[in-house]
Amino acid sequence: MWALRLVLFCLFYHQYVVKYAPLFVSFLLKQAEPDYPCAHLPFAASSRMNCVSIRMLPVLFFFLFHVSSSEDEQVKASLVAFMDKLAVGNVERNQSWGWNMSSDPCKDKWIGVSCDLQLKSVRKVVLDELNLTGVLDIDSACGASSLSVFSLNQNNVVGSISEGMGNCKHLTHLYLGGNQISGHLPESLKQLSNLKRFDISNNNLSGEVPDISGISGLITFLAQNNQLSGEVPNLDFSNLLQFNISNNNFSGPIPDVKGRFSADSFSGNPGLCGELVSRACPPTTQKSEDSSAKHFFIYSGYAVLGLIVLLFIAFKLVRKSKPKQDILAVEADTSRRSNKTSSTSSKSKITENKSEYSLSSVENGAALSSLIVLTSPTEQGLRFEDLLQAPAELLGRGKHGSLYKVVLDNGVTTLAVKRIREWSITSEEFKRRMERLDQARHPNVLPAVAFYSSKQEKLLVYEYQPNGSLFRLLHGSETGQALDWESRLNVAASVAEALAFMHEELGDDGIAHGNLKSTNILFNQNMDPCISEYGLMASQHQSFHPQSNKLNNDAHGSFKADISGFGVILLELLTGKPVQANGIDLAQWVHSVVTEEWTVEVFDKAMISQGASEERLLNLLQIALKCINPNPYERPNMNQVALMINTLKDEEDRSGSDP
C-alpha cells in the first residue's frame, strides 16, 4: 500500500506541484500580510520575506528549490513518458537501464542516451535493434527540445509520426526505418530546418510527402518500401548523398536528379514516368473550351517566328555590306567614338575601322600605344593589329573585365586576351608591374605573353589553355572527366607551392594574386594546374613601389585574402561542391557540419568510394579551415600551407607504394 501512495505522490508532485509552485509561493506571501504588523509598513517588496512566519520558511524553500530545476525535470518526465509507451525485448530493464524519474539521463547514462559535454542537455537518443514494441510517442520525445539525433531503426514500433515532430527544432538526424509506423507524414516536418538525414524506410506510411524543399541541408532521404503517394518530393538532388523512394505509389514525372541516382531509387512505382525509368510521360491534354485559345497562340507563334526570320535575314544582308570586325574591335570602337577628337575625322577609312588600341594614348606626357611583347619564344612577332583583325570569341564576362579566345595564323596559334576596364593605375606603373611579374616565373603560374595599356583599359595576352579550369572539372565537366583523390591532392600541392613561391618573390613588391578562385586554376596540355591572372586585381589603394621594403595594409590584406581563397579551393576539392549553390555558402556549410561532429559527411562521396584515406582527408580539411580563419592574422602563410600539404602528399605516396 505504501508503494502505491508513493507513486501517486510522485505523479501529483510532477504534474501539479512543479507546475503551480510559483503561484503557490506568491499565495503564501500574500497570506502572511494580515497576520503581522510589518506587512503594512512601507517596506520594499524584497523585504517582505522577513515578515513570513518561521514555520513557513521550510515550505517556501522546498518550492523555490524545485522550481529552479523544473525545466530539467520536465525533460526527464517527457523522456520517461516516451519510454513508458514502449516495451523492450532484447534488454533487461535493470538499474543500468535508466529511463526513470529517480535517475538523471546524462549523469546516470541512460541506455541509448548521449548528452552534451557539460552533461546538462540530451543530444542523442539511439535505440536501434532492441526489439522495441509499443506505440511511438513523438510528442513526448520532442519534449527534449535539444535533441539532435533520434533513432529507432529496426524495431517493431507502431503508431504514427505526430505534428509534435516540429518541436524537435534542433534535430539533424531522424532514423525510423524498419518499424510498423503508419499514417501520414506531418506537415510540421518542414519545420525541421536543420535536418540532414531522414530515414523512414520499411514502414507502412501513406499519403503525400509534405513540401520539405526548404530543408536545404538535407543529404539523405530514404523512404523505400512504404505506401507513400503523390509526386516525387521536391529536393535539391545536387546536395543529396542518399535517395530512395522505391516500392511506393508515387506518380508523375521524375525530376532532374543531376545524374546522381539510378532507376533503382525509383523502381516499384508504376505511376512514375521519365527517361530514367524508360517510361514516357503522357502529354498534357487541354479541355475543348480552351482549343480556340490554343489555336490563337499557335498561329501567333508562327507569325512571330516568321517575323524573326525576316529580321535575321535583313540583319545578315546589312552586316555583309559593312567591313568585317571582330568582337574586340567592335567593343573598342564604341569606346573610341566616345573619346574621339577632331583629329580623328581626318584619318583614312582603315584607321576609322580600328579600335582605340591602335591610337596613341598619352598619360603624364608619356606615350604608350603599342603592344608590348614579353619574353615569349613563340610570339615575338605578335602585333597589336594581329589581335584586332583575328577572329575573337567571348569566353566570359566578370565584374573586373572580359575574356576572349583569339585565333591567329589560320588556327596555328590560339591566345586568351583579358580585357580590364576601370583599373586606376597609370600606364607606366602597369608596365612596371607586368615586367616584375614576368621576372617572377614559376612553372605552375601562367605568364603573360604581351600586354597593352591605355587610360581607359588594359589588355593582357596569355597562351590559351585547352583543358579548362578546375571549376569546370569539379562542377561542370562536359567530357565526363573526374578528379580522383590523388589528382586533387596533387592539384592542391602544386597550387600551394606556386602561390608560396609568388608570395615569396613578390612580397616586398606587395603584389598578391588578388582574385584566387577555382576558375583561375587552369590546366595545360599535360593536365598540370596553372594559376592564371596573377596580380591583376590589386587593391585600389595598393601601389607598386620597387624601392620600398614595407607593405601597406592593403597589400598585406591581399596576401591574406589569397590564403583564404586557397582555403576555399581546398574545400571545393574536398567536397566537390561549388562555393555558392542555391544560396548556400560552402564555407558556412562545412563549418556547420563540422560543428555537428558529422565531419565525414563533408567529403565528396566519389573519393570515399574510391578508397581515399579518411585520415588524410580530415588532415587536409583542417588545413583548409586554418586558411579560411575569419581572423586573417591567425591564418598560416603560404610557405607553411605548402609544407603541410606536401607532408600529406608524401604520406599518400608512401601508402600507395606499400605492398
**Which parts are annotated binding residues for ATP?**
418
Place of cell 520558511: 57
Under DSSP, is residue 161 helix (H, G, I), strand (E, B) or coil? coil
Our CA dihedral for 202, 203, 205, 211, rounded to 10 degrees, sits at -50
Residue-by-residue DSSP string for 468-508: -BHHHHHH--SS-----HHHHHHHHHHHHHHHHHHHHHHTT
Residue-by-residue DSSP string for 216-231: TT--EEE--SSEEEES
Q: How many CA atoms lie within 13 A of 55 on its CB side?
A: 1
Q: Please name the residue ranges forming H helices in 509-584.
A: 553-575
Residue-by-residue DSSP string for 41-107: S---GGGGGGGS-GGGHHHHHHHHHHHHTHHHHHHHHHHHHHHHTEE-SSS--STTT--STTS-TTT
Cell digits for 580?
Answer: 555558392
CA 321 to chain centre: 51
Cα distances (Å, whole numbers) of residue 52 to 20, 27, 30, 56, 646: 20, 12, 9, 7, 75
Residue positions in the annotated binding site?
Answer: 418
Intra-chain end-to-end CA distance of the chain, in Å: 74
Tell me the residue type at 346. Answer: S
The set of residues, in sequence order, having a beta carbon less than 8 Å from that of 456 and lying 6+ positions away, is: 335, 339, 356, 421
